[in-house]
Structure 1
């Protein structure tokens, strides 16, 4: 009886102990506890020994490596034997093969302890190997999924970068493999959705799900909080706006509809609209179709002037010319660093391309007036590329062309001058003479310190005045880009700033952009 009672008592105790270590081991399979290193540390503590896990190449993954027979380890790793045991010098060692996903070789789990391996310790080791194999298999599956997600994300970015440099043919070809029909359109809108950097991946996934992959969703390479979405249809745009409604600290800005070749222009518009969205109760804004200066200039004269200004680039191969123009457009709209990230090139490449354009156009991009004038010409050039020639438009050599017109004449038309005077007159309503400060700041290339020296005030005063002028003009100045260039052109139109000293192209008409 005594023996029987003792046997029952021992079985119950062993069962309780088994239940404890089994529960602890299974806990390592929970989503919050999946860490091979923690499993190895748990095994060492549970069997009161030294444990090491090495991969199929012999590298230590976890634990502390005990002294081992290299020949035994090699045999287990090669799969010639499944496990091995060794004892001597007061130590007991177990080597067990650990199966790796998609591998002909195996890792090795080594367990060393001072006492012999009893049945309990042996069971714990074998069950731990099974758990480690499950974790490695799950980790490989997770890693493969992440690699696939990263490859898909990189592909989306590559398509956007092709659109940014006007290579719509290549963009469509790349997109056709995974998203058939995505870019089967001549026009699209660009939206920029802003959330938090920590939540951006989830936000992008929701954009993809919401649009049903009928839009190109890209993690912005320049701003960690931004998701760029190219939406071919109106339905996708509505779905995006509905998506951000209930989300806190999430905003969306959209462009006007543009041709695919003008994706870079549309992106700039979306960024501008996003700034407005921060002040809207619905957290959404679309680029305002306000009166732009180029719409107030005679189109025929403007096109002729643009062609002459950019004519030094006409001798370049088509691909090189398109690449230089697209890069310069983005570089003038944003910083070189941001433009480089969007295009997927180095900032030195952006600067080198812009310097080449500077040299060809004999321009000085440190001069805001030169930047504004070249920016105007580049936008007109894109518009011309989008507009097919009207029926009957003469193209033969020797066809009479419109007489050359200077920049001064372009900007001095009644519509342009009225617009410029009305715009700048808003600054006169402030007693701080914001107009004088803005003019000096532009004249000094947007440098507050130099403008302060010119005006005899503190640099912080200049910055405050320029910042105060932004809501009055309804344009961003400190951020640069299209808004600032419009204000520069307004100053040129009313004669508040000297016109930039640039040649007028191969017509030889130096008057087209020289000082008056």
Structure 2
């Protein structure tokens, strides 16, 4: 065919190297410039196979291609190669090959790889002298080292990613109160992690770029005896579910070592109340940002539901949620858990925490709206349903509790109690000293569904004024208002108890 071809067969055809890449020793004291340049590619700042291929092309005055055994180019310039030779190299039948013809001299070298064989091809016009041969041989060795290192790193990354995904799945099961499934999954990988019936939830905050390192430190600090999850909703947050008492101190120590890192923690809750504990940790985190030690634990303040008659409250909650009782248990639990999170956070954040789409969250909440006959655009409705849901979660069996109970007062009766009234007057009374009449603005803003523009039109002021008034009420009331959640709903209940807002109409209460 007008060309001469030579192939080195197997191990016997290549001296000094079992896998076919010849080791060319460098004489003592001899450090050619090309060798130093090649070794520089192994430094942490280098390690790019494509750059090494380009370097080889320039150094050997050749065209260079790196491809897999199927002929797919990975780096360099595509070269016309003998497919049979490439196949022999890929299968391991031969370790290297060389031929010349049509004015070109070509060298092929098989490069071992943990999962897939690679072929390095070098084509040049001049014959391969000792210098060029040494450059090709050593370059093949360096590429093999890098590919092996990359494969090892990639495998480690895949393992870490799979483990992180598994931790997130366990957290998502806890968020929807499926503690049995969460324990079953955790037991196979981290025995004993969720054996306790209660835990505290912590949120550690840092810059998003530092979160991966922070998550790794949380795992090390807690000795992997806590569930550590990168928050799927907030890029700078790491969620830690810690059954052990020592976890709080361990995380405080970690936060103390890093600037611009903050810690919010919940009070101890049952595992079924992980979503509630998470909300508490987020609230505490807002306080931690303003503290010198950068940490805060959710303050167990007086909540309005604790001032109501327990039996009457349970009976009322059961009546409000009774339309959902006809659903299969799994469907009902799924809708209730999604609605709890959807009332605490935005649909996008709730979806990320649950591992579903935001459309799924909205569809589930719309189904609950339809079954309860309510409109969640009304903040007072959201507050009242939130009260019913959090009463229900405290019951061992929320569906059966109110079935045979004596008639209990409706929402108006629950809010009319003297203890609730006193709590509401004290809370809202904190705003009376503000000459801007912040209480009136806050009430109008709630009545407008939390919409500053609509509230501004009702009050005859600018929307920015409404926002400033609401924001200024937050430190006075010690509650977050601009973000939906428990803090806002308690303030809404206070307005309802004080008679500042019209009570919403619910079918069951």
The answer to whether the superposition gives a TM-score over 0.5 is: yes
1:82 aligns with 2:92: no
* Structure 1 position 90, deviation (Å): 2.1
Query: How many residues end up aligned between the 2 structures?
Result: 484
Counterpart of 2:406 in structure 1 is: 402
Q: What SS class does the counterpart of residue 315 from structure 1 fall into?
A: coil
> Does the CA-based 8 Å contact 1:58-1:107 persist in structure 2?
no
Please point out which of 55, 60, 63 is paired with 2:76.
Answer: 63
Of 17-26 and 45-54, more deviation after overlay is shown by 17-26
Which whole-Å deviations, capped at 9, do the CAs of 1:337-392 have from their partners, x for residues lacking one?
000000000001100111111111111000000000000000111112399xxxxx
Which whole-Å deviations, capped at 9, do the CAs of 1:20-43 have from their partners, x for residues lacking one?
222222222222221111111111
1:29 aligns with 2:33: no
* Structure 1 position 404, deviation (Å): 2.6
Q: What SS class does the counterpart of residue 32 from structure 1 fall into?
A: coil
* Structure 1 position 501, deviation (Å): 1.9
Counterpart of 1:230 in structure 2 is: 241
Q: Structure 1: how far apart are the matches of 2:69 and 2:207?
A: 40
Please point out which of 48, 51, 58 is paired with 1:45.
Answer: 58
1:185 aligns with 2:196: yes
Q: Structure 1: how far apart are the matches of 2:341 and 2:276?
A: 8
> Does the CA-based 8 Å contact 1:164-1:343 persist in structure 2?
yes
* Structure 1 position 288, deviation (Å): 0.6
Q: Structure 2: how far apart are the matches of 1:17 and 1:41?
A: 24
1:432 aligns with 2:443: no
Q: Structure 2: how far apart are the matches of 1:172 and 1:307?
A: 29
Are residues 216 and 152 of structure 1, via their aligned partners in 2, closer, same or farther at CA, if it must alter by over 3 Å? same
Counterpart of 2:316 in structure 1 is: 305
Of 59-68 and 342-351, more deviation after overlay is shown by 59-68
> Does the CA-based 8 Å contact 1:259-1:386 persist in structure 2?
no
> Does the CA-based 8 Å contact 1:65-1:110 persist in structure 2?
no
Structural mapping, 1:339-350, within 5 Å: 339-350=350-361
Q: Structure 2: how far apart are the matches of 1:342 and 1:129?
A: 47
Which whole-Å deviations, capped at 9, do the CAs of 1:227-280 have from their partners, x for residues lacking one?
000010111111111110121000000001100000000000000000000011
Q: Which runs of 5 or more structure 1 residues have no equivalent in the other structure?
A: 1-12, 388-393, 505-511
Please point out which of 104, 107, 131 is paired with 1:120.
Answer: 131
Q: What SS class does the counterpart of residue 475 from structure 1 fall into?
A: coil
Please point out which of 174, 178, 194 is paired with 2:205.
Answer: 194
> Does the CA-based 8 Å contact 2:315-2:402 persist in structure 1?
no
* Structure 1 position 403, deviation (Å): 2.0
Please point out which of 347, 350, 356 is paired with 1:336.
Answer: 347
> Does the CA-based 8 Å contact 2:319-2:402 persist in structure 1?
no
> Does the CA-based 8 Å contact 2:265-2:296 persist in structure 1?
yes
* Structure 1 position 177, deviation (Å): 1.1
CA RMSD, Structure 1 to Structure 2 (Å)? 1.9
Counterpart of 1:463 in structure 2 is: 467
Are residues 407 and 112 of structure 1, via their aligned partners in 2, closer, same or farther at CA, if it must alter by over 3 Å? same
* Structure 1 position 475, deviation (Å): 0.7
Counterpart of 1:492 in structure 2 is: 496
Are residues 184 and 261 of structure 1, via their aligned partners in 2, closer, same or farther at CA, if it must alter by over 3 Å? same
Counterpart of 1:245 in structure 2 is: 256
> Does the CA-based 8 Å contact 1:310-1:361 persist in structure 2?
yes
Which whole-Å deviations, capped at 9, do the CAs of 1:81-139 have from their partners, x for residues lacking one?
22222222322111111222134xx2211101111100111111111111111111111
Which whole-Å deviations, capped at 9, do the CAs of 1:416-438 have from their partners, x for residues lacking one?
01111111111121111101110
Q: Structure 1: how far apart are the matches of 2:402 and 2:64?
A: 84
> Does the CA-based 8 Å contact 1:57-1:107 persist in structure 2?
no
Q: Which runs of 5 or more structure 2 residues have no equivalent in the other structure?
A: 1-25
1:139 aligns with 2:150: yes
Q: Structure 1: how far apart are the matches of 2:172 and 2:122?
A: 53
Counterpart of 2:86 in structure 1 is: 73
Are residues 52 and 489 of structure 1, via their aligned partners in 2, closer, same or farther at CA, if it must alter by over 3 Å? same
Of 493-502 and 57-66, more deviation after overlay is shown by 57-66
Q: Is the helix fraction higher in 1 or 2?
A: 1
Counterpart of 1:275 in structure 2 is: 286
Structural mapping, 1:100-119, within 5 Å: 100-103=113-116, 106-119=117-130
Q: What SS class does the counterpart of residue 427 from structure 1 fall into?
A: coil
Q: Structure 1: how far apart are the matches of 2:218 and 2:195?
A: 20
Q: What SS class does the counterpart of residue 222 from structure 1 fall into?
A: coil
Q: Structure 2: how far apart are the matches of 1:165 and 1:270?
A: 17
> Does the CA-based 8 Å contact 2:431-2:476 persist in structure 1?
yes
- Report the TM-score, using the length of structure 2 for normalisation: 0.92
